[in-house]
């Protein structure tokens, strides 16, 4: 992305001021004298760059294999063994968020950067805690403050989510005030929404609904239901996304470092090892979903030119299948690959959704189904499907026919209706939104993820990631205390965190 590339050299200098080397978060500098040497716009660009780190969790990444959207047939390039290691902390980025907030405090009375910083703090706290469990929060990033805390304690996951929700409330309030003072623009360094604070506010509230839905098992411990109702019932105070134009998107282009991962230059490199996975593709087949023709090509072995729309020619690999057999079948043309025209014809590919309108609509439909709020779940469910299909340029007539089919008509506020919502939410997440499809599966069990001989985790889909190894080297007592209080002392990827109990 040109915006990122233009800032590249300046960002390096900025980070030199902020971080002396690759250190653990508790040793990161928190020196106001250093932070004020970096304009908040530069720091905002750096934060957004990390948030948009699509190499790690973007389209056709390892994360999207773990989401069971696609499978890899060549073990040399990766696997589907679910034997996960550690997840990353994001405290380096959060130090930049804090520096941005401090630097911007005097720019305008209501501090538009400060409003965004509260959202970023919530976003990255959520990123870390839902991957690992308890994390340092109240004592984090205080090595160079008067407290001089170099080994921060771990806060409970419940306390972290209370803080996340508080930050999002404060962010919404502050961004409302900022808009009154500076309008929707004048946020330099924002390559996502070009400084449009109205779109940022919608995203902040849509993200808050994501967090609240993720707390569906904790409605008796956190005020989830009332907060959800408060947001949905008061659009003046808590504006939400009104359509796909509000999606938080990462745009790709034919630029160094910003090319879509599947593109003409790597067609011969990965074309025949990227296979559509059954957990995803079979949902499309079962429902005669027109999106299948947009995202997949038929398996050549089964394709009949006289019957080009025959769904029987669309064959997925099971994520848990042995890769050797998968590779043989792939070489024989017996699997469906990503649609060549859509994914390999240009370097820009399709936009990547971080936080989107379809997810919001499915979340509202789920809340209605669960009885949290009143409303027409079918309307939100249908709107989520429609918005997802529009993302793939499915025709209006095909969308209407699909929504009217017996499989897709909403079955009511019951278990069947909930399964419909969750399955279609999973479909809409395809190659988007990092690992949100996995997190929804982990929370609900829908759709069922495939497990087979390729699984190297005792036939289980993990429940979490391990803590970074650096914690055991620099903050051993506190990380071990966190493991003892949560998981019986073991950094077990199959253990259930508070969020899931």
Q: How is the chain split into domains, by residue range?
A: 1-56+89-260+470-501, 270-344
* Cα–Cα distances in angstroms (integers) from residue 183 to residues 111, 197, 236, in the given order: 12, 8, 16
Name the helix (H) or strand (E) containing 248.
strand 248-250
CB-CB contact of 182 with 108 (8 Å):
yes
Q: Does domain 1-56+89-260+470-501 have CATH number 1.25.40.390?
A: yes
Nearest C-alpha neighbor of 38 from the set 24, 17, 56:
17
pLDDT value of residue 2: 41
Q: How many CB atoms lie within 10 A of CB 325?
A: 13
Q: What secondary structure does DSSP assign to 161-190, as a single string?
A: HHHHHHHHHHHHHHHHHHHHHHTT---TT-
Distance CA 151, CA 477 (A): 9
Query: Mapping DSSP to helix (H, G, I), strand (E, B) and coil, where does residue 416 land?
Result: helix
pLDDT value of residue 361: 99
Nearest C-alpha neighbor of 22 from the set 84, 87, 85, 89:
89
Residues 338, 342, 343, 345: what is their CA dihedral angle, to the nearest 10 degrees?
A: 130
Name the helix (H) or strand (E) containing 276.
strand 274-276
CB-CB contact of 61 with 261 (8 Å):
yes
Query: Mapping DSSP to helix (H, G, I), strand (E, B) and coil, where does residue 304 land?
Result: coil
CA angle 359, 351, 261 (to 5 degrees): 120
Count the alpha carbons within 13 Å of 162 in the hemisphere toward its beta carbon: 11
CB-CB contact of 288 with 311 (8 Å):
yes
DSSP-assigned letter for residue 239 = -
Contacts 24+ apart (CB under 8 A), 217-222: 217/443, 217/499, 217/500, 217/501, 218/158, 218/161, 218/498, 218/499, 219/372, 221/158, 222/158, 222/161, 222/162, 222/165
Structure tokens at 79: 């696997």
Tens digit of pLDDT at every position of the chain (501 positions) = 443 443 343 343 334 333 333 334 334 334 444 444 588 999 999 999 999 887 789 999 999 999 999 999 999 999 999 999 999 999 999 999 999 998 888 776 668 899 999 999 999 999 999 999 999 999 999 998 899 999 999 999 999 999 999 999 999 999 999 888 776 567 899 999 999 999 999 999 999 999 999 999 999 999 999 999 999 999 999 999 999 999 999 999 999 889 999 999 999 999 999 999 999 999 999 999 999 999 999 999 999 999 999 999 999 999 999 999 999 999 999 999 999 999 999 999 999 999 999 999 999 999 999 999 999 999 999 999 999 999 999 999 999 999 999 999 999 999 999 999 999 999 999 999 999 999 999 999 999 999 999 999 999 999 999 999 999 999 999 999 999 999 999 999 999 999 999
Structure tokens at 445: 């069990």
CB-CB contact of 7 with 45 (8 Å):
yes
Residue written as tokens 């007592």? 477
pLDDT value of residue 22: 34
CB-CB contact of 162 with 224 (8 Å):
no
CB-CB contact of 134 with 8 (8 Å):
no
Structure tokens at 16: 């030199």
DSSP-assigned letter for residue 217 = G
Q: Which residues pair with 274 in a beta bridge?
A: 72
Quote the pTM value: 0.93
CB-CB contact of 148 with 80 (8 Å):
no
Distance CA 271, CA 267 (A): 5
DSSP-assigned letter for residue 298 = P
Distance CA 172, CA 187 (A): 16
pLDDT value of residue 108: 65
Q: What secondary structure does DSSP assign to 351-371, as a single string?
A: -EEEE-HHHHHHHHHHHHHTT
């Amino acid at each position: 992305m040109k915006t990122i590339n233009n800032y590249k050299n300046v960002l390096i200098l900025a980070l030199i001021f902020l971080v002396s080397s690759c250190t653990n978060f508790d040793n990161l500098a928190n020196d106001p004298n250093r932070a004020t040497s970096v304009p908040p716009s530069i720091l905002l660009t750096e934060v957004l760059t990390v948030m948009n780190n699509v190499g790690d969790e973007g389209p056709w990444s390892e994360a999207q294999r773990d989401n069971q959207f696609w499978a890899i047939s060549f073990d040399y390039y990766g696997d589907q063994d679910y034997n996960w290691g550690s997840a990353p902390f994001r405290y380096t980025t959060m130090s930049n968020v804090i520096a941005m907030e401090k630097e911007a405090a005097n720019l305008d009375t209501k501090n538009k950067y400060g409003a965004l910083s509260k959202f970023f703090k919530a976003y990255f706290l959520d990123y870390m805690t839902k991957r690992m469990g308890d994390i340092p929060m109240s004592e984090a990033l205080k090595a160079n403050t008067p407290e001089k805390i170099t080994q921060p304690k771990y806060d409970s996951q419940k306390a972290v989510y209370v803080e996340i929700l508080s930050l999002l409330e404060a962010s919404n309030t502050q961004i409302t005030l900022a808009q009154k003072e500076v309008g929707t623009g004048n946020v330099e360094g924002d390559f996502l929404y070009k400084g449009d604070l109205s779109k940022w506010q919608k995203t902040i509230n849509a993200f808050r609904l994501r967090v609240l839905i993720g707390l569906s098992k904790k409605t008796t411990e956190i005020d989830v239901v009332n907060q959800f109702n408060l947001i949905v019932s008061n659009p003046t105070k808590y504006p939400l996304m009104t359509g796909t134009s509000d999606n938080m998107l990462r745009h790709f282009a034919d630029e160094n470092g910003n090319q879509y991962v599947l593109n003409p230059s790597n067609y011969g490199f990965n074309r025949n090892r990227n296979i559509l996975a059954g957990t995803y593709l079979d949902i499309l087949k079962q429902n005669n979903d027109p999106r299948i023709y947009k995202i997949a090509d038929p398996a050549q072995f089964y394709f009949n030119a006289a019957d080009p729309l025959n769904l029987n020619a669309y064959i997925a690999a099971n994520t848990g299948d042995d890769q050797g057999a998968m590779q043989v079948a792939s070489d024989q043309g017996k699997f469906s690959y990503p649609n060549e025209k859509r994914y390999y014809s240009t370097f820009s590919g399709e936009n990547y959704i971080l936080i989107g309108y379809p997810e919001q609509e499915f979340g509202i439909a789920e809340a209605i189904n669960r009885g949290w709020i009143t409303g027409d779940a079918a309307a939100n469910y249908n709107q989520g499907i429609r918005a997802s299909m529009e993302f793939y340029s499915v025709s209006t007539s095909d969308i209407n026919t699909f929504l009217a089919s017996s499989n897709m008509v909403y079955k009511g506020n019951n278990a069947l209706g909930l399964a419909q919502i969750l399955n279609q939410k999973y479909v809409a997440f395809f190659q988007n939104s990092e690992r949100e499809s996995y997190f929804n599966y982990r929370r609900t069990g829908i759709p069922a993820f495939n497990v087979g001989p390729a699984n190297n985790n005792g036939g289980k889909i993990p429940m979490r990631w391990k803590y970074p190894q650096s914690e055991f080297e620099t903050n051993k007592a506190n990380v071990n205390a966190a493991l003892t209080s949560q998981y019986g002392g073991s950094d077990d990827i199959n253990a259930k965190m508070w969020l899931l109990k």
